[in-house]
Each structure stands twice: as C-alpha cells, then as structure tokens.
Amino acid sequence: PDGVEEYVDFLLSAGRVGEAAERLADLLNRSSFVSPRGQTRHTMWLQLCKLVSEHPTECAGRLRGEAIIRGGLTEFTDEVGHIWTSLADFFIRQAQFERARDVYEEAATTVLT
C-alpha cells in the first residue's frame, strides 16, 4: 500500500478517473489503512464521492456509484446535504433526470435541520 495515494494522484493526472476511484475505494475498504499523508477517511471518502458523482460513466462497471454515495449518508451525518446533492448530480450526469428528482424529494423528506 505504500505509494497508493501517489498512484491515485498519477491516475487522476493521466485522466484515468475510473481506475483512480477504484484504487481509492480499495483503500477505504481496508479498515487498517492509515494515510501516510495524514488524510482522514472522511477526506478520502469525500474525494471518492466527488470522483464517482462527477464521472459516473468512467466509474461504471468498476464501482457501484449509487451505493458508495448512499453509504456516506449514514457514515458522515455532518455532510448529508452535500452527499444528497452529489447523489442527484450522479444521476443528472447520466441523463437520469427523474431519478435525480426522486433523490431531491427523498432528501427533502429525510434531512433534518
């Protein structure tokens, strides 16, 4: 695992977003992983969420984007607003506008302020 974060950066700079997201997900699935850079799991998960929501077609077939993003709703309760909009963005970028609308409706009924 040494150098994996640098490898993810390299993949991103090379435009290989799907593979970078997959490597990042692998890191997050290892409960024993500690970032040599000092990044928190929260920071790394937000990066993964951003990659998956902004590049759903590149990540398709490698990762279950909706499941990853929805997983954050229970794990990172301080970021639910951001996560709901990321999930809607995930569907919008795939031209699944009705699903995006459904996500916004679901968010409106479940988010407490």
Rounded to whole angstroms, the Cα distance separating 107 from 13 reads: 33
Which pLDDT score, from 0 to 100, does residue 112 have?
76
Q: How confident is the model over 71-85, as pLDDT tens digits?
A: 999 888 888 999 999
Rounded to whole angstroms, the Cα distance separating 58 from 63 reads: 10
Which pLDDT score, from 0 to 100, does residue 69 have?
95
Which pLDDT score, from 0 to 100, does residue 31 have?
85
Which pLDDT score, from 0 to 100, does residue 32 have?
87
Q: How confident is the model over 28-58, as pLDDT tens digits?
A: 998 888 888 899 999 999 999 999 999 999 9
Which pLDDT score, from 0 to 100, does residue 65 have?
94
Helix, strand, coil abundance in the chain, percent, nearest 5: 75, 0, 25
